[in-house]
Amino acid sequence: MENSLGRLFTITSFGESHGRCVGIIIDGCPAGLPITEQDIQRDIDRRKPGIVMAATRRTEEDNVEILSGIFNGITTGAPICLLIWNRDIDSSEYEKMRFLPRPGHADYTAFMKYGGFNDFRGGGRFSGRITATLVMAGAVAKKLLNLIGIEVLAHTVDIGGIKAEPKEFEEIRKNVANNSVRCADLKAAQAMSRVIEKVKEEGDSIGGIVEGIALNMPIGLGEPFFDTLDGELAKALFAIPAVKGVEFGSGFSVAGKRGSENNDPFIIKNGKIVTATNNAGGILGGISNGMPIVVRVAIKPTSSIAKSQETVNIKNMESASPAVKGRHDVCIVPRAVAVVESMMAVTLCDFAMRAGLLPRVIK
């Protein structure tokens, strides 16, 4: 079950970075939903690196194939298997690095946990490439959420300490696709691009923060005590490699706040109860309150860097400090935007089904 997520809308990820393929099974998707390979391809393409500067040099063709669960372009209620074949693989560098765990990477823990049997090539199951399977699932989830009006969008709010100015949802929606760092503040975006370029020249990498938003939220998603909306979102987001922190609404800034300033007053607007502010990030008591979900996700700098780093040869227990070659992003934050969106969509979809908002058959 460790490679499965969700109770009613369940995804099961498989495949390795340099194996034959990466894929996802979606179980519990309602019957009657029209889906084409193009629908999913579109989201896979959004995950692609936008410009050369921030990009991995690997040419990922990444053509989505539907293997099951969809008949005549419509979901059947059977498990949907979506798959991308791996191509353009050069594992030679990894053979050399097999016993030299990269600092900050899962090489060491994977080796120890799986007794050295793990497929180490390209990071195997611990490669960012696995996030392509999440994006495929997210594409289906977003189509379902669309039926009940929920919109999920994510954007970069910080790279290397350069913070984006807060923007309105419409501006975010419009600007995020217009620049390679997926930032709604176009001025900050330019500064972020420059930082990435500089860091690249140094042979280093850089972290950042992605903010995820869900709009038009119904009230009542989330199943406390343990299956809270925030808890399940956090679990789903921490599955994304490189995530080190998750916060909702005012997040860690609550430490310095008074209740009287952090509590969101209830008011009436257009005949509905809403909150005047959204410090709660749309969640009270683990349940959506109808306001936008706002979650921020801290993404560490890529662990694989060109600079030489200190490590230990697991086999002979000798110190070593090799330079990692391979092809790696200097900053994965822009690519993580599509992945954060996907994990939010998958989780919200599961909760919508648990709340009975999505039928088992779509008519």
What residues from 165 to 194 belong to the interface with a second copy (CB under 8 A)?
none
State the DSSP H helix or E strand holding residue 36, giving kind and residue range, or none if neither: none
C-beta closer to a second copy: residue 2 or 170? 2
Q: Are 179 and 157 in contact (CB under 8 A)?
A: no
Structure tokens at 120: 């180490």
Toward a second copy, which CB reaches closer, 170 or 269? 269
Using CB under 8 A as the binding rule, whether residue 212 contacts a second copy is answered as no
Angle, helix 37-47 to helix 333-354, in steps of 10 degrees? 140
- As measured in angstroms, the least distance from the Cβ of 50 to a second copy is 19
> What is the Cα–Cα distance from 214 to 112, expressed in whole angstroms?
39
In the complex, minimum distance from the CB of residue 329 to a second copy, in angstroms, rounded to a whole number: 11
Q: Out of 43, 62, 230, 341, name the contact with a second copy by CB under 8 A.
A: 230
Size of the site for a second copy (CB under 8 A): 150
Task: Give 152's strand partners.
Answer: 214
Backbone angles phi, psi at 99, to 5 degrees: -100, 15
Q: Name the one range near a second copy by CB under 8 A: 36-44, 137-145, 181-189, 201-209.
A: 201-209
Asked if residue 37 binds a second copy (CB under 8 A), the reply is: no
From 49-57, 170-178, 180-188, 253-261, give the range in contact with a second copy by CB under 8 A: 253-261
Cα separation of 52 and 2, whole Å? Answer: 35
Site for a second copy (CB under 8 A): which residue of 55, 84, 130, 145? 130
49 or 281: CB nearest a second copy = 281
Instruction: Let me know how long the chain is.
Output: 363
* Partners of 214 in beta bridges: 152, 293
User: Contacts with a second copy in 1-30 (CB under 8 A)?
Assistant: 1-5, 7-8, 10, 12-16, 19-21, 23, 25, 27-28
Taking CB under 8 A as the rule, does residue 77 contact a second copy?
yes
Of the candidates 171, 211, 224, the one whose C-alpha atom is nearest the C-alpha of residue 294 is 211
Residues 348 and 338: their CA atoms lie apart, in Å, by 15
Q: Using an 8 Å Cβ cutoff, are 68 and 81 in contact?
A: yes
Of residues 280, 293, 337, 348, which one binds a second copy by CB under 8 A? Answer: 280
**Token pair listed for 346:** 């998958």
CB of 178 to a second copy, least distance (A): 22
State the Cα torsion 253-258-260-262 to the nearest 10°: 10
Q: How far is the CB of 169 from a second copy (least distance, A)?
A: 21
Q: Scanning residues 306 to 325, which ones bind a second copy (CB under 8 A)?
A: 307, 309-312, 314, 317, 319
Q: CA torsion sign, 62 to 64 to 65 to 68?
A: positive
Residues in 93-112 that interact with a second copy by CB under 8 A: 101-106, 108-110, 112
350 binds a second copy (CB under 8 A): no
